[in-house]
Amino acid sequence: MKDFRGKVAVITGGASGLGREFANTAAGLGMKLVLADVQAKALEHATEALLDGGAEVLSMVCDVSKASHVQELADSAIARFGAVHLVFNNAGVGSGGLVWENSEQDWEWVLGVNLWGVIHGVRVFTRAMLECAARDGDYEGHIVNTASMAGLLTPPAMGVYNVSKHAVVALSETLHHDLALVDAPIKASVLCPYFVPTGIAQSHRNRPEELASEERVTASQMAAQMMTEKAVESGRVTAADVARITFDAIREERFYIYSHPQALASAAERFDAIVKGAPPADPYAATPQVTAMLKAGVGRKR
């Protein structure tokens, strides 16, 4: 997809962070926008700003972990604009700590948003986009699923998040192959950002009450939270940079999209260890201070 003007972009997690910058970039290219987020007030502010800038915007409060919400989002997008061309399955949350210390509610919350949100987006919007293609011989579509470098690596004290993002990478790769299998005029990409200054380190603010953990916060969870906040806040690649990189990748039909390609050295070490049957490679080998900080926070007494 090289011509964006007049086409329709659906963005989950569109009120802040990467989603907001995807919206800003899409609006600048003359696209019509469908924004979804669980943050009603932030979504209202984002929508007002985009409307003031001259964009056509449909916004909906949407919990992507719920299939009915995503179906309603797709139905509303088609009803308003007649088609959907570009979908960002982007909503995401974070949680850390030693993997055995995460509660059942932690797993349900993170997998619900990060994985089921993308599953629902792929299942619902791919069908809708194929229907659009059946009506329009010149149709072009593209789906971008937001994973993470944590979908290619396995850093310690991030188990729930790692699992969710590895699954998104696998889902996206399979989507790529399945679309090619049926010669669909739809491309797919997976976005694997590293530490980028967004609000994900504070995503617990949007955690639903029914999924609040019933267990006490552990030392490992506090240490992981501190590390994530520090890493995210110190990131030099901005969300706007990632949006620019992503739209360039869409134009060039690139599947894998990276904000920090230098981090791929750690991914290469991981896959080399897999091929050799060696123990998992240390994703923080080049930054031992991160491991030291985690160890100091976790402590040795369990």
Residues with a known catalytic role: 161
Q: Taking Cα atoms as reference points, which of 24, 30, 38, 36 lies closest to residue 8? A: 30
Helices assigned H by DSSP within 112-218 = 117-135, 159-181
One-character DSSP codes across 269-294: HHHHHHHHTPPPP-TTTT-HHHHHHH
CB 168 within 8 A of CB 119: no
Distance CA 87, CA 224 (A): 31
CA pseudo-torsion sign 132, 133, 138, 142: positive
One-character DSSP codes across 214-238: SSPPPHHHHHHHHHHHHHHHT--S-
Q: Which residue has the tokens 């229907």?
A: 131
Q: Taking Cα atoms as reference points, which of 14, 17, 39 lies closest to residue 259? A: 17
Distance CA 43, CA 14 (A): 7
